[in-house]
């Protein structure tokens, strides 16, 4: 019994000691700490939905920003239209410059045609004919147009006892003697298969009329020239200036060409010391 009692007292003493070691304030602090630790947990749990909402709102804002950015970007259609407009403006400017250049070229070509190419073929004899000229009211010269083929005209000139056979080549800008024979045995047409070998003499060259150093000068294209035969209209008047072979003096020759008839009038002036003037005009045509 004594042992049992001793044991019970020991247990009671231990229990009382344990009870004495526990501080009520510490117990309350521990309980408060447990409550505080539980409150942040609850706060975190309460804040989690708010954070989720904030994140959702942030995502929505980013999406709205992303969706708004294409509107802020330049519309490709507008950009294409502006580029097309700029290209169109550049093309228009280039076309204007090109048109201006073309007009300038056209004007230069027109001037060249007016001054250097009056269309001499219009003044070719249109058919075989015989033209008689009177020189200084004393001498007759007969020009017989024997044949016409293409650009070539064959004529025989009779002046006194002298007979000259000539083949003339007519182009739009020049009239040249490409064959000449004096006192030929035969004067019939030789134009079938004719091929010129050389240029013997240039009778007229209006391609040089605009050049200051040219020996030819275009005087008029629409002159009315009177002859004993009749008045000819739209006559081409060309002047040729050259040097005399013997004296070196200036010789000025003026030719009148009528459409479809060729030469109808001529004047030659020798300005040398023993100079002279020769006038020749058409008095008959057959």
Strand (E) positions, 88-173? 129-135, 139-149, 152-159, 162-170
Same-domain status, 210 and 143: yes
Which residues are CB-neighbours of 255 under 8 A, at least 6 positions away? 203, 204, 237, 238, 239, 240, 263, 265, 266
Q: What is the number of domains present in the chain? A: 3
What are the two backbone dihedrals, phi and then psi, of residue 212, each rounded to the nearest 5 degrees?
-65, -30
For the chain, give the percent of residues with pLDDT over 90: 47
- The β-bridge partners of 180 are 166
Co-location of 219 and 82 in the same domain: no
Confidence band, pLDDT 50/70/90 cuts, at residue 71: very low
- DSSP-derived letter for residue 277 is E
Q: What is the mean pLDDT of residues 229-242?
A: 94
Q: Has residue 87 been placed in a domain?
A: yes
At 97, the pLDDT band (50, 70, 90 cuts) reads very low
- pLDDT tens digits for 191-201? 999 999 999 99
Asked whether residue 1 is domain-assigned, the answer is no
Comparing CA positions, the residue from 118, 145, 140, 97 lying closest to residue 262 is 145
What is residue 18's predicted lDDT score, i.e. its pLDDT?
Answer: 52
Residues spanned by the domain of 36: 31-64
* Same domain? 92 vs 131: no
Same domain, 155 and 280: yes
Element (H, E) at 231: strand 231-243
Distance (Å, whole) CA 175 – CA 166: 12
Q: For residue 214, which of 224, 229, 201, 204 has the smallest C-alpha distance?
A: 204
**Do 80 and 46 belong to one domain?**
no
Do 51 and 176 belong to one domain? Answer: no
138 and 279 in a common domain: yes
Domain identity same for 153 and 277: yes
Residues 127 and 51 both lie in one domain? no
22 domain residue, yes or no? no
- Judged against a pLDDT cut of 70, whether residue 123 lies above it is answered with yes
Report yes or no on 58 lying in a domain. Answer: yes
Between 242 and 79, residue with greater pLDDT? 242
- Which of 230, 278, 216 lies closest to 258 in space, CA to CA? 230
Q: Which two tokens stand for residue 251?
A: 């010789």
What string of DSSP letters covers 53-106?
Answer: HHHHHHHHHHHHHHHHHHHHSPPHHHHHHHHHHHHHHHHHHHHHHHHHHHHHHH
Whether 185 and 276 share a structural domain? yes
Per-residue pLDDT, averaged over 13-40, amounts to: 49
Verify that 144 and 40 share a domain, yes or no: no
- CATH code, domain carrying 167: 2.40.360
Phi, psi of 246 (to 5 degrees): -85, -55
pTM of this prediction exceeds 0.75: no
36-64, pLDDT tens digit by residue?
A: 444 444 444 444 444 445 555 555 555 54
């Amino acid at each position: 019994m004594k042992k049992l009692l001793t044991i019970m007292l020991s247990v009671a003493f231990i229990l009382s000691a344990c009870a004495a070691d526990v501080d009520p304030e510490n117990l309350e602090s521990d309980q408060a700490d447990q409550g505080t630790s539980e409150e942040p947990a609850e706060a975190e749990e309460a804040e989690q939905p708010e954070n989720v909402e904030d994140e959702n709102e942030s995502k929505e804002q980013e999406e709205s920003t992303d969706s708004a950015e294409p509107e802020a970007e330049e519309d490709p259609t507008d950009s294409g239209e502006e580029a097309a407009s700029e290209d169109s403006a550049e093309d228009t400017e280039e076309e204007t410059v090109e048109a201006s250049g073309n007009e300038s070229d056209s004007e230069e070509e027109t001037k060249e045609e007016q001054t250097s190419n009056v269309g001499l073929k219009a003044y070719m004899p249109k058919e075989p004919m015989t033209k008689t000229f009177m020189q200084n009211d004393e001498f007759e010269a007969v020009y017989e147009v024997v044949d016409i083929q293409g650009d070539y005209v064959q004529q025989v000139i009779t002046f006194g006892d002298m007979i000259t056979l000539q083949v003339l080549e007519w182009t739009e800008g020049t009239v040249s003697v490409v064959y000449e024979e004096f006192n030929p045995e035969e004067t019939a047409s030789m134009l079938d298969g004719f091929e010129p070998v050389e240029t013997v003499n240039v009778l007229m060259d209006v391609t040089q009329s605009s050049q200051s150093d040219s020996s030819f000068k275009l005087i008029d294209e629409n002159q009315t020239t009177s002859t004993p035969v009749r008045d000819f209209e739209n006559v081409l008047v060309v002047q040729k200036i050259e040097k005399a072979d013997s004296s070196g003096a200036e010789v000025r020759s003026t030719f009148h060409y009528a459409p479809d008839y060729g030469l109808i009038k001529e004047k030659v002036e020798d300005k040398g010391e023993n100079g002279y003037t020769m006038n020749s005009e058409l008095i008959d045509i057959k």
